[in-house]
């Protein structure tokens, strides 16, 4: 194996270039993955613009990915050369209370590939053995990149404790909003409302079986009066966070997962008087990741019809396209081969 590899390196706001960098060293309990496909996440767009404190240049981003095991460390037992895998990119200590109780996403020592450590917009990436998961033969490498963002949606729905009769509204028809729509459908929910100003994304939501609207004024009066049982903010702006609190019924549940704005004012007195339950949702627990992989294998989630596969060399151009408006596209996958 050569000691150098190509990588798409974030070098500053709106600056990404293909560079030659060193292949990562392989630890005893790590697997070296030859990256095949890597998705672009919305959080990476804010990083690209210089608005994300976690992503500091120079950095190789990329945490939604799949590939082939190229080499294994001396203490690795679960994998062999040639295995097709996807990866949980949230690496935790494995020893603390949170890790031992199944909530590794809350570990104080957690590190994210593509933010704290070099990520998957490169030919190779080294990851702990425990972070890798084999892909069934019928799951494509493109679909393997969906597991990570879908796991976020699985976690959101688990926190909401959904039941089939719940009325759910989702603010944001980006990938996480669309994946949350599909995860909620697995719980048996129907007539799920999804709100966004992007009419192209709303078309995708409608084709997935959701009710897509550009504003609450488009909803039936009966639904607006009765309120929703649950709401999800997959945007992260003050206006959408506040709307979530306002539209749920007394005793309703709200999950905030969008990270666009760091701070927001909320109608707290209304939340108190209506006993609105508000919860943050960060990433996913290992169990959520495993559930997402299983559901994907069962064909319960699909964004492939609205996904574009592009060469890594076009990565910077696609970041710009996603910022300016991609049209009727839900996901961009960068291909390394």
Give, for all 337 residues of the chain, the pLDDT tens digit.
558 999 999 999 999 999 999 999 999 999 999 999 999 998 899 899 998 778 999 999 999 999 999 999 999 999 999 999 999 999 999 999 999 999 999 999 999 999 999 999 999 999 999 999 999 999 999 999 999 999 999 999 999 999 999 999 999 999 999 999 999 999 999 999 999 999 999 999 999 999 999 998 877 665 666 789 999 999 999 999 999 999 999 999 999 999 988 899 999 999 999 999 999 999 999 999 999 999 999 999 999 999 999 999 999 999 999 999 889 999 999 999 8
Is the alpha carbon torsion for 187, 292, 243, 323 positive or negative?
Answer: negative
Domain ranges for the chain: 4-146+303-335, 154-280
CB distance 62 to 37 below 8 Å: no
Fold observed for domain 4-146+303-335: Quinone Oxidoreductase; Chain A, domain 1 (3.90.180)
- Residue 299 CB neighbour total at 10 angstroms: 10
pLDDT digits (tens, 9 = 90+) for 174-183: 999 999 999 9
Is the alpha carbon torsion for 135, 139, 140, 142 positive or negative?
Answer: negative
What confidence score (pLDDT) does residue 226 get?
73
Interatomic CA distance for residues 329 and 62, integer angstroms: 19
pLDDT digits (tens, 9 = 90+) for 64-122: 999 999 999 999 999 999 999 999 999 999 999 999 999 999 999 999 999 999 999 99
Q: Which two tokens stand for residue 44?
A: 């990476």
Interatomic CA distance for residues 244 and 160, integer angstroms: 13
CB distance 6 to 19 below 8 Å: yes
CATH architecture of 154-280: 3-Layer(aba) Sandwich (3.40)
């Amino acid at each position: 194996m050569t000691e150098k590899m190509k990588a798409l390196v974030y070098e500053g706001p709106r600056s990404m270039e293909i560079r030659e960098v060193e292949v990562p060293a392989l630890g005893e309990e790590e697997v070296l993955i030859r990256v095949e496909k890597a998705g672009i996440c919305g959080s990476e767009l804010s990083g690209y613009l210089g608005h994300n404190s976690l992503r500091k240049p120079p950095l190789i981003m990329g945490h939604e990915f799949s590939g082939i095991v190229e080499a294994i460390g001396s203490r690795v037992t679960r994998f062999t050369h040639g295995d097709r895998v996807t990866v949980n990119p949230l690496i935790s200590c494995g020893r603390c209370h949170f890790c031992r109780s199944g909530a590794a996403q809350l570990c104080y020592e957690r590190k994210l590939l593509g933010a704290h450590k070099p990520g998957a917009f490169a030919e190779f990436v080294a990851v702990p053995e425990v972070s890798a998961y084999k892909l069934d033969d019928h799951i494509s490498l493109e679909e393997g990149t969906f597991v990570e963002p879908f796991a976020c949606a699985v976690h959101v729905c688990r926190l909401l404790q959904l039941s089939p009769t719940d009325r759910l509204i989702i603010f944001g028809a980006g990938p996480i909003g669309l994946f949350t729509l599909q995860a909620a459908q697995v719980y048996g929910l129907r007539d799920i409302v999804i709100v966004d100003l992007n009419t192209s994304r709303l078309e995708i939501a409608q084709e997935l079986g959701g009710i897509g609207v550009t504003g609450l004024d488009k909803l039936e009066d009966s639904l607006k009066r009765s309120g929703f049982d649950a709401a999800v903010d997959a945007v992260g702006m003050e206006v959408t966070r506040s709307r979530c609190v306002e539209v749920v019924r007394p005793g309703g549940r709200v999950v905030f997962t969008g990270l666009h704005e760091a701070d927001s004012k909320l109608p707290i007195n209304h939340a108190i008087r209506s006993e609105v339950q508000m919860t943050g949702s960060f990433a996913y627990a290992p169990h959520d990741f495993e559930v997402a992989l299983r559901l994907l294998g069962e064909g319960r989630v699909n964004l492939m019809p609205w996904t574009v596969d592009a060469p890594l060399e076009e990565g910077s151009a696609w970041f710009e396209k996603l910022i300016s408006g991609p049209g009727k596209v839900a996901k961009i996958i960068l291909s390394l081969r």
